Amino acid sequence: MLPDFPSLKGRLMDRRVSEIRAKIDAQMPIVSKIRSVRFHEGNSFSVQRDDGVIESQGFIDVRSPIQISANLEFKETVENLKVETEKLAVDFASQLEKLFFERFTKITESVGNAMDMKGEPFTAESYLDMLDRVELDFDMFGLPIYPTQVCHPVMGETLQREFARFRTESGLRGRAETIIEQKRREWRDREGRRRLVT
């Protein structure tokens, strides 16, 4: 009977899983920034939102198979495993990102932060309308921490053109400054109401 090396196999598996996790995170930069919590048992979880609402949800199954022929030489097996885990990382990232944006859309619609442009083109004005709907945080210098924007690459040129208008149009700049100042006051009020943990 051939000897088994559970400790060595465990270390190799941990290393491989870490590599897969890093590749998945690289494929979905926004989702990878969200703090994760590991559950060791159960089939559902609950989250209490900032507004006090408690939401319960079951876990979602995300999986992707790896198939490697048993008739390969060791070197070929290792190479095939590397190729298959690369595919696995891309597939996992695709599934997780899709789930994230579905959940994100549902939450923003439920709290009234969703904006439907109804086929109209993106403009600097519509960006300010969106900014007016969301909470903003500020850094230690009082500068706004703007929300992360996710858009299709085709929109890149439009975004640059519309954001350039803030430099040339004083009316837009003035409205933006008014919104930011209002958000700064709201942020100070929120910070002032926070209870310190002792």
- Report pLDDT digits (tens) over 146-181: 988 878 888 889 999 999 999 999 999 999 999 999
Q: Is residue 157 domain-resident?
A: yes
What's the pTM?
0.60
Residue 181 CA, distance from chain mean position:
27
Q: Is residue 162 domain-resident?
A: yes
Q: Are residues 16 and 85 in the same domain?
A: yes
Among residues 69, 174, 182, 170, the alpha carbon closest in space to that of 132 is found at: 182
Q: Are residues 128 and 106 in the same domain?
A: no
Average pLDDT over residues 73-91: 80
Q: Are residues 105 and 166 in the same domain?
A: no
pLDDT score, position 35: 75
Query: Which domain covers residue 103, as residue numbers?
Result: 6-35+44-110
Q: How confident is the model at residue 3 (pLDDT cuts 50, 70, 90)?
A: low
C-beta separation of 166 from 124 below 8 A: yes
Per-residue pLDDT of 12-35, as tens digits, reads: 667 777 877 788 788 777 777 777
Residue 67 has pLDDT above 70, yes or no: yes
Higher model confidence: residue 123 or residue 46? 123
Query: How many other CB atoms are found less than 10 A from the CB of residue 89?
Result: 21
Q: Are residues 20 and 106 in the same domain?
A: yes
Residue type, 177: E
Q: How many domains does the chain have?
A: 2
